[in-house]
A and B are shown apart, each in its own frame.
Chain A
Amino acid sequence: TQLLEQSPQFLSIQEGENLTVYCNSSSVFSSLQWYRQEPGEGPVLLVTVVTGGEVKKLKRLTFQFGDARKDSSLHITAAQPGDTGLYLCAGAKDNFNKFYFGSGTKLNVKP
């Protein structure tokens, strides 16, 4: 059983649409990270959130950490084909060396 559940698993949308990806858990995390992974490459860190209720923006991407630090969301505005990839969330508990990864959301943005 995954400690972090991501939804949806797959998402195929048209360029210009908005989307939200969810990362949920029954556990509390000290911090939560979002990564994007492109085919044939390792994941690349997009953002880290550490405070309950925190919102971070990275251009068209908005990340939110839940108030109780158990869940997070990633919202993309006006998606572009370059956003295509596998999005992974990862939570860290007290030991900042151990990250629990979600199963990922595979996003395909069609031109």
Chain B
Amino acid sequence: DVKVTQSSRYLVKRTGEKVFLECVQDMDHENMFWYRQDPGLGLRLIYFSYDVKMKEKGDIPEGYSVSREKKERFSLILESASTNQTSMYLCASKGLKLFFGSGTQLSVL
């Protein structure tokens, strides 16, 4: 069975902390994505990567960066967490279709 694994289900961080969200896929997909999901707003694309060390900004990249050192792993970095980054974060990888992880609910206090 295909799998996209996000390292944490729940995270609580303080304002100003550096936060790492990790995502691993086992399908050898080239394309990986980070979305955030907020009530009433659907999923919004933060960044995506189409190959190792390659990345492209999505619709809301401000305050975020990403890292793709290995094909199977795509990391989302909040350089200095702020309260407005409290959200559900979803990682996905794409072959013929998008496969999503279970999400990380991040609270920034």
Which A residues are CB-close (under 8 A) to B100?
A: 42-44
**C-alpha gap A31/B90 in the complex (Å):** 22
Known: A45-B97, A48-B97, A97-B50. A9 touches B92 (CB 8 A): no
Q: CA–CA, A43 to B91, complex, Å?
A: 10
Q: Do A2 and B42 form a contact, CB below 8 Å, given A42-B90, A97-B31?
A: yes
Q: Is the CB of A102 within 8 A of B42?
A: yes
Q: Is there an interface contact between A41 and B43, defined as CB atoms closer than 8 Å?
A: no
Q: B90 and A2: CB pair below 8 A?
A: no
A97 touches B42 (CB 8 A): no
Shortest distance from the beta carbon of A103 to any chain B beta carbon, whole Å: 4
**Chain B 24-69 residues near chain A, CB threshold 8 A:** 31, 33, 35, 40-45, 48, 50, 58
**Given contacts A42-B101, A45-B97, is CB(A88)–CB(B45) below 8 Å?**
no
- How would you classify the secondary structure of chain A's contact residues: helix, strand, loop or mixed? loop
User: Does B85 sit within 8 A of A, measured CB to CB?
Assistant: no
Within the assembled complex, what's the spacing in Å between the Cα atoms of A90 and B43?
9
Q: Are B43 and A98 touching (Cβ within 8 A)? A: no
A99 interface residue per 8 A CB criterion? yes
Instruction: Give, as a whole number of angstroms, the nearest-CB distance from A100 to chain B.
Output: 8
Interface of chain A residues 71 through 111 with chain B (CB within 8 A): 88, 90, 97-99, 101-104
Assuming A48-B97, A97-B31, A97-B94, is B42 touching A104 (CB within 8 A)?
A: yes
Q: Does B102 sit at the interface, judged by CB under 8 A?
A: yes
Can you offer 29 A-B residue contacts whose CB atoms are under 8 A?
A2-B42, A4-B42, A9-B40, A33-B98, A40-B9, A40-B102, A40-B103, A41-B103, A42-B4, A42-B92, A42-B101, A42-B102, A43-B90, A43-B98, A43-B100, A44-B100, A45-B98, A88-B42, A90-B43, A97-B33, A97-B94, A98-B48, A98-B58, A99-B45, A101-B35, A101-B43, A103-B40, A103-B41, A104-B42
